[in-house]
Amino acid sequence: MLTRQLHAILILILAFGGFIATPTLLAVPAAAQGTLAPDSFAVLAKQISPAVVNISTEKVMKRSTPTRRMPGMPGPSPFGPDDPFKDFFEKFFGDMPKEFKSRSLGTGFILDREGFIITNNHVVEGADKIKVKLVDGREFKASIKGRDAMTDMALIKIESPTHDLPVLVMGDSDAVQVGDWVLAVGNPFGLSHTVTQGIISAKGRVIGAGPYDDFLQTDASINPGNSGGPLVNLKGEVIGINTAIVASGQGIGFAIPSSMAKGIIAQLKQKGSVTRGILGVQIQTVTPELAKSFGLKEPVGALVAEVNPNTPAAKAGIQRGDVIIEYNGHVIKEMHELPRLVAHTAPGTKVNLKVLRQGKEKNFGLTIAEMKPEHLARSGMVEPETEKSSLGLLVQELTPQMAQRFQIKETSGVIVVQVEQGSPASDSGIRPGDLIEEINSVAIQSLKDYHASISQLKAGDAVRILIKRRGKTMYVVVEVPEK
């Protein structure tokens, strides 16, 4: 009896041991097998780092005339030409230099043996001198060959390239999947050639940075100084250009997808600027409520809020209230898809539009026109509308996306999105993200209010502007320049 029990136990032990020795493997989809994390990213880091450059720029900034201001107080002296502090102020502050140098750091990567380097526009915009440094210690002077502010991309070129420059290959961001591994290389906070690892967190992100938002989101650490650096896949191919972060978030960075960048790079290399198509409509998102009111089964497409006169859309017969659901064979699921498709269409191209009008599908043929500077203020292809003044400010009406980006609790108003270097606004200390609440004691709640106040200003006027910055309210004084 005991012998039989021992025999049975031995059989169980052998069976259980055999199970442990030959575990069952879970099946991994073929498409995902190539994206499994390696034991180390060292080989990949060594492969891509040589072609990544640190970019340092130098700008000559103009300082506003100090003799017209009181120490510690913005704006002209309140005492006028008989200022009793004038001699004191000029003695101690009159010899201050009228110009000073501003320096900044960023990242880029080499595209080809000719020495072309891609980076962000905001890294090199307005730069008087540009220097690039490779990981092997070599330094080169570079110059700007093309810029595109609307996508924050710039192309610079090494002035005297050598034949042995390392390069990176542009990959296919359309093939990237959420969850794929990526590496970012950059110059965060001046820490040269920092490598960080993460995954693609999302695709097609719209963050309010511009009308053509289509960002890759990643949790690979991206910080100030990473701007313009590459986001690469496990093959070492560039699938994104690191360009934005959420200041209040961790592990949330954004990169321009390579599929968008390739066409822009080609134009910047050829002519130094980007030519875009224009349809001539102002559009908005189709909300569930709007979809119901228009008799749509689901909230898809781009709702036409206005048709600009003498544009391709107007000539073709597009009307306000039409919902554009298809553009040249591409189904429009979400409003932001349409501006990107139109912008990437060469002017002169004939396209077909499918719209829903009063519940019925209609087709229209039209020829895409070229976007001109005068279209920027009124075209739905640039959303939201912006307004630039002689003060050197570029502003727009506050949107939920911009409020989130700049951590603003207000739901309406006019926000500063860009400040021209060396302008009166720059000299006064106004920054992007400032919310303009008053101009000369007049409340500013919309672009209409802003434009009305700005239009009344004369050369030499001292403009008192009330701004809100990160929850704090302050006055600044800006002098209107002589024309």
Q: Which residues are catalytic?
A: 122, 152, 227
Phi, psi for 369 (deg, rounded to 5)? -95, 170
What tokens appear for 476 in the block?
A: 């600044």
Q: Are 23 and 163 in contact (CB under 8 A)?
A: no
Residue type, 41: F
Are 364 and 370 spatial neighbours (Cβ–Cβ below 8 Å)? no
Collapsing DSSP to helix, strand or coil, 182 comes out as strand
Give the list of residues 6+ apart from residue 369 with CB closer than 8 angstroms, or none.
Answer: 277, 278, 280, 311, 312, 347
Is residue 363 classed exposed, middle or buried when 0-12, 13-18 and 19+ CB atoms within 10 A define those classes?
A: exposed
**For residues 117 and 156, is the Cβ–Cβ distance under 8 A?**
yes
Closest CA to 281 of 379, 368, 349: 379
Check if the beta carbon of residue 118 is closer than 8 Å to that of residue 108.
yes
Distance CA 280, CA 315 (A): 10
Give the C-alpha separation, 279 to 332, whole Å.
Answer: 15
Q: Which two tokens stand for residue 428?
A: 């006064």
Q: Which residue has the tokens 């650096």?
A: 229
Burial of 355: CB neighbours in 10 Å, binned 0-12, 13-18, 19+: buried
Q: Which distant-in-sequence residues (6+ apart) come within 8 Å of 88 by Cβ?
A: none
Residue 380 one-letter amino acid: G
CB 245 within 8 A of CB 254: yes
Closest CA to 182 of 112, 257, 74: 257
